């Protein structure tokens, strides 16, 4: 009778592959103890990519300016630390609120209109915030970046050490909490409503979904999550560079998500890992080549593997299962 | 004050003419196929590099090298279109955006590899150097030249769209692709032709802008926002609209730089957001327009 609720309940169940995936996060701590700083960056980028997945993969809003919220979160958290509000957890919340507030102000602009105007608006907003941060150098430090950020120990116990141990655990927990939230959200009727809006806004409107409202809500939520990611970066680095707001960052995070796979929750996490590990090894050789390979990968992914790595793995797993079933009739 | 105003206005027109040349191709391809080509300004940039290379490596003088740049870049544009872009015509905008951003990155990286990260310079012919004086108002000859080229291209494009068979086919395809196709218009070929013309004009704009705006591998990204803004302001597919929007933006930028230097690029982005808020489909709407 109640097919929808049954479907959602099925979707909410944890697959063993998901559990294995999450066990990799603590495993990496023991296997690569020397790479915890990179690991922290991956976790933060993964959270940022996850936030983009909500708005781009699930709601279908093509945005080229998501770094705006990442940057706002980073600057808010950085400013708090600089001005003496050194407690990290409340800093995260305030940063999230700041990003969400700006998103709420701009949501109306972004959520109506067609794909092209959304693209333009988000691109323009992203550039606008970059320009604001650049000009307001008395507050943000401009091109020199924001210095003298002090963050007191997490929960009053765990100080941020220079090997990035606290930062890694802190970021991992934040990512996991963010992921649980996102996972819960997209497996609600609200998540299905977003699917409907993305696939066909006219019909979704006809069955009683308030398109603009649904899109605005996910946009604000996603901005808050991006703000948390930015705040994490500011707190763990204790420095904010202006490139948190740059177009490159928006393009990078979109690339991570596309490589990993859109609209599958894990795409951003997988993509961020692949992207940053590759960047760490390739960009060290030459940053220009890195941009070249990045462009090539983008093109190849769009042409040949829509759905990214996650979809690829899923397809392969399916094929294996079919083969096994055929073998034992 | 008034004299300054006139000078700013003229400079703005010249700048607008450059922007028009560079963005009209984007407008046509967007209007024709709904294809979001974020690599368009990278093509314009290649025109600039082709001019620099033609002059420094081959030792050609300005105008032959300019012609070479236009031809080479337009061929390159068609190669890109046939070899890459046409695979995502029916695809969702996101796929187009990512594919063309990928192309933009690759072209920028290749340009850095070949020509180095520094600013490029060209020597313009002597008769374009210096300033002309109209009474109290001084005006750079090169800027005047840019303005004339812009107007000439506008006139040629307008005549081409209104008077020629190809122009009629382009207009028909922009208006309704499906009906145009069912009437036997080879929409794909029309699009390829339009892409070649757009790339040629972008190359012309890019090559002429080396002297006025400077050229480095970041060009393709730096002017992308302006081009997109112009297309959205002018309405995709409208030549006259693109021209007017280019002039508006050109004047806004020059006047902004002259009267409010502290505001910087701020004005442009603000203008874009305001316009898009008021008119999400541009000053001239997508479906009701003339060539």
ipTM score? 0.81
Whole-number Cα distances in Å, A317 to A10, A56, A303, B66: 19, 26, 22, 55
Specify the pLDDT at position B248.
87
Fold of A3-327: ABC transporter involved in vitamin B12 uptake, BtuC (1.10.3470)
pLDDT interval class at B280 (50, 70, 90): low
Please check whether residue A61 touches B, CB under 8 A: no
Q: Is B138 helix (H, G, I), strand (E, B) or coil?
A: strand
Alpha-carbon gap, residue B212 to B15, rounded angstroms: 8
**Does residue A323 register a pLDDT over 70?**
yes
Sequence ranges of the domains in chain B: 2-116+137-278
Residues of chain B contacting A64 with CB distance shorter than 8 Å? 97
Mean pLDDT of chain A: 81
Mutate to test the interface with B, among A275, A292, A306, A308 (most CBs of B within 10 A): A292
Of A123, A258, A291, the CB nearest to B109: A291
Sequence ranges of the domains in chain A: 3-327
Please check whether residue B118 touches A, CB under 8 A: no
Segment B41-58, tens digit of pLDDT:
899 899 889 888 888 887
Nearest CA in chain B to A123: B225
Specify the pLDDT at position A223.
92
Segment B201-254, tens digit of pLDDT:
888 888 888 877 778 888 888 888 888 888 877 877 778 888 888 988 888 888
Segment B88-127, tens digit of pLDDT:
877 777 788 888 888 998 898 888 888 877 777 777 777 7
**Does residue B279 register a pLDDT over 80?**
no
**Does residue A244 register a pLDDT over 60?**
yes
pLDDT interval class at A186 (50, 70, 90): confident
Nearest CA in chain B to A298: B102
Q: Is A216 helix (H, G, I), strand (E, B) or coil?
A: helix
Distance from CA of A192 to the nearest CA of B (A): 20
Interior angle at CA A97, CA A96 and CA A98, nearest 5:
90
| C-alpha neighbours within 13 Å on the C-beta side of residue A139 | 11
Residues of chain B contacting A124 with CB distance shorter than 8 Å? 225, 229, 269, 272-273, 276
Of B94, B99, B109, the CB nearest to A292: B109
- Higher per-residue confidence, A104 vs A136: A104
DSSP classification of residue A68: H
Segment B10-42, tens digit of pLDDT:
888 888 998 998 888 888 888 777 788 888 889
- Determine whether the interchain pair A124/B276 forms a contact, defined as Cβ–Cβ distance below 8 Å: yes
Alpha-carbon gap, residue B64 to B71, rounded angstroms: 11
Residues of chain A contacting B107 with CB distance shorter than 8 Å? 295
**Does residue B286 register a pLDDT over 70?**
no
In B16-35, the residues whose Cβ lies within 8 Å of chain A are 30
**Does residue B64 register a pLDDT over 80?**
yes
Alpha-carbon gap, residue A297 to A274, rounded angstroms: 12
Please check whether residue B236 touches A, CB under 8 A: yes
Fold of B2-116+137-278: ABC transporter involved in vitamin B12 uptake, BtuC (1.10.3470)
- Higher per-residue confidence, B138 vs B37: B37
Please check whether residue B259 touches A, CB under 8 A: no
| Percent of chain B at pLDDT exceeding 90 | 3
Average pLDDT value for residue range A108-113? 76
Segment A11-40, tens digit of pLDDT:
777 777 777 777 777 777 777 777 777 888
Nearest CA in chain A to B217: A288
Alpha-carbon gap, residue B33 to B162, rounded angstroms: 20
Distance from CA of B274 to the nearest CA of A (A): 10
Whole-number Cα distances in Å, A153 to A89, A156, A167, A174, A205: 10, 5, 10, 16, 49
**pTM of the entire predicted model:** 0.82
Please check whether residue A295 touches B, CB under 8 A: yes
């Amino acid at each position: 009778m109640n097919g929808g609720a049954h479907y959602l309940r099925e979707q909410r169940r944890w697959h063993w592959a998901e559990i294995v995936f999450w066990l990799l996060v603590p495993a990496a701590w023991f296997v690569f103890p020397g790479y915890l700083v990179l690991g922290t960056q991956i976790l933060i980028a993964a959270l940022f990519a996850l936030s983009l997945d909500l708005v781009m993969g699930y709601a279908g809003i093509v945005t080229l300016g998501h770094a705006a919220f990442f940057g706002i979160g980073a600057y808010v958290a950085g400013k708090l630390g600089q001005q003496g509000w050194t407690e990290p957890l409340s800093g995260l919340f305030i940063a999230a609120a700041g990003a969400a507030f700006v998103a709420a102000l701009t949501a109306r602009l972004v959520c109506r209109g067609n794909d092209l105007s959304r693209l333009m608006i988000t691109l323009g907003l992203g550039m606008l915030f970059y320009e604001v941060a650049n000009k307001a150098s008395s507050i943000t430090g401009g091109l020199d970046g924001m210095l003298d950020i002090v963050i007191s120990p997490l929960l009053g116990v765990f100080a941020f050490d220079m090997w990035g141990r606290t930062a890694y655990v802190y970021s991992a927990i934040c990512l996991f909490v963010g992921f649980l939230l996102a996972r819960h959200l997209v497996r609600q009727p609200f998540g299905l409503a977003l699917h409907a809006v993305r696939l066909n806004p006219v019909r979704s409107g006809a069955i009683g979904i308030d398109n603009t409202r649904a899109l605005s809500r996910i946009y604000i939520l996603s901005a808050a999550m991006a703000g948390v990611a930015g705040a994490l970066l500011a707190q763990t680095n204790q420095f904010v560079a202006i490139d948190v707001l740059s177009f490159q960052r928006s393009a990078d995070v979109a690339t991570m998500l596309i490589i990993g796979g859109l609209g599958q929750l894990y795409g951003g996490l997988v993509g961020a890992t692949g992207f940053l590990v590759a960047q760490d090894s390739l960009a060290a050789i030459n940053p220009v080549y890195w941009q070249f390979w990045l462009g090539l990968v983008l093109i190849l992914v769009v042409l040949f593997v829509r759905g990214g790595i996650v979809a690829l793995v899923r397809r392969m797993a399916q094929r294996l299962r079919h083969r096994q079933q055929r073998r034992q009739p | 004050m008034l004299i300054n105003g006139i000078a700013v206005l003229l400079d703005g027109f010249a700048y607008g003419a450059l922007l028009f040349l560079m963005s009209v191709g984007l407008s046509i391809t967007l209007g024709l196929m709904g294809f979001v080509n974020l690599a368009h300004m990278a093509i314009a940039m290649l025109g600039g590099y082709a001019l620099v290379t033609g002059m420094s490596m081959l030792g050609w003088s300005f105008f032959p090298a300019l012609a070479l740049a236009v031809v080479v870049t337009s061929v390159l544009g068609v190669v890109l279109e046939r070899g890459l872009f046409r695979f995502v015509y029916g695809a969702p905008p996101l796929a187009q955006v990512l594919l063309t951003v990928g192309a933009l990155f690759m072209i920028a990286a290749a340009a850095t590899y070949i020509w180095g990260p520094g600013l490029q310079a060209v020597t313009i012919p002597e008769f374009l150097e210096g300033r002309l004086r109209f009474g109290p108002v001084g005006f750079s000859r090169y800027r005047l030249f840019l303005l004339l080229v812009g107007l000439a291209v506008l006139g040629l494009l307008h005549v081409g769209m209104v008077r020629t068979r190809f122009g009629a086919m382009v207009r028909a395809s922009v208006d309704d692709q499906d009906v145009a196709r069912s009437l036997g218009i080879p929409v794909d070929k029309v699009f390829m032709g339009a892409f070649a013309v757009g790339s040629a004009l972008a190359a012309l704009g890019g090559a002429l802008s080396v002297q006025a705006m400077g050229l480095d591998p970041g060009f393709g990204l730096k002017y992308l926002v302006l081009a997109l803004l112009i297309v959205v302001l002018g309405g995709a597919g409208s030549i006259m609209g693109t021209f007017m929007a280019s002039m508006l933006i050109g004047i806004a930028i020059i006047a902004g730089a002259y009267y409010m230097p502290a505001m910087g690029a701020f004005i442009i982005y603000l203008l874009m957001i305001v316009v898009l808020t008021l008119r999400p489909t541009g000053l001239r709407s997508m479906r009701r327009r003339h060539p």
